[in-house]
């Protein structure tokens, strides 16, 4: 299905099983509506399914921020008369889920490799100690690592600005969800380390599963992930 938002053509799937419950899939950065395809196929006969390709690495004509992604999702849900969802998300998709928190009823949430939390603001700490030389060095290292990342290099000029908007927004005040939560994390995830999962778990009544994998644990351990998700959404 197609949807127009911010002058962009948005592609999404809606599977209607005549269920009372709808599952919303939110992919990671660079993913698409098929990123959770095996999980979608597992659940689409029992749940209504909405899976959206959110513009991330595709060339776009406008600059996006997390509020824009939230508005995109809300409008698609509204067009399909959906007011309550179960969310299954990966990485960047968890950032979007955090922005949706409080704007729509979230019945349950599954997060794998969820992004959106940062450690203490080292720049502010150094500024408070007036150590300008170290501050400049830390800022240089941060910018170098950001600009040198493969995700960043591959983007157009406009999309680079979107990328900066996303990574610079800290969702730490939005991670408390008033619903059951399942966390599925890779032990060797360097993109969203285990400390993020533990922080989210502290803020929620969450079940945390740590597996021997990287940032794409839901794909590398797909059978286990699907089994856990199926049990979680049916309970």
Domain extents in the chain: 2-118+170-234
159-195 pLDDT, tens digit each? 889 988 998 898 989 999 999 999 999 999 999 999 9
The answer to whether the pTM exceeds 0.95 is no
Q: Which two tokens stand for residue 77?
A: 């849900």
Contact 35, 27 (CB under 8 A): yes
Average pLDDT on 22-36 reads 97
- Is the pLDDT at 150 greater than 90? The verdict is no
Neighbours of 231 (CB within 10 A): 10
With 0-12 CB in 10 A as exposed, 13-18 as middle and 19+ as buried, what is 81? exposed
| 209-232 per-position pLDDT tens digit | 999 999 999 999 999 999 999 999
Cα 52 to Cα 41: distance, rounded to the nearest angstrom: 15
pLDDT in tens, 101-134: 999 999 999 999 999 997 644 344 444 545 554 4
d(CA 166, CA 95): 8
Q: Which of 69-73, 109-113, 143-147, 175-179 has the lowest mean pLDDT?
A: 143-147
For residue 179, the 8-state DSSP code is S
CATH of 2-118+170-234, one of 3.40.190.10, 3.30.960.10, 3.90.180.10, 3.40.50.1820: 3.40.50.1820
Q: Look at 46-60, 71-85, 217-231 and tell me which has the smallest mean pLDDT.
A: 46-60
């Amino acid at each position: 299905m197609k949807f127009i938002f911010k002058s962009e053509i948005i592609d999404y799937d809606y599977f209607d099983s005549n269920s009372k419950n709808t599952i919303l899939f939110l992919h990671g950065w660079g993913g698409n509506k098929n990123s959770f395809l095996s999980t979608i196929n597992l659940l689409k006969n029992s749940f209504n399914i909405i899976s959206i390709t959110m513009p991330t690495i595709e060339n776009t004509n406008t600059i996006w921020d997390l509020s824009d992604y939230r508005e995109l999702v809300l409008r698609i849900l509204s067009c399909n008369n959906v007011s309550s969802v179960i969310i299954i998300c990966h990485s960047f998709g968890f950032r979007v889920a955090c922005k949706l928190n409080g704007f729509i009823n979230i019945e349950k949430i599954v997060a794998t490799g969820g992004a959106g939390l940062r450690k203490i603001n080292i720049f502010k700490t150094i500024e408070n100690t007036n150590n300008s030389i170290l501050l400049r060095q830390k800022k240089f290292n941060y910018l170098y690592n950001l600009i040198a990342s493969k995700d960043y290099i591959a983007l157009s000029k406009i999309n680079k600005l979107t990328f900066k908007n996303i990574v610079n927004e800290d969702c730490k005040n939005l991670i408390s969800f008033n619903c059951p939560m399942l966390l599925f994390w890779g032990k060797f995830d360097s993109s969203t380390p285990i400390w993020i999962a533990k922080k989210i778990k502290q803020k929620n009544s969450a079940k945390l599963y740590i597996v021997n994998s990287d940032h794409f644990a839901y794909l590398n351990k797909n059978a286990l992930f699907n089994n856990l998700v199926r049990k979680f959404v049916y309970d």
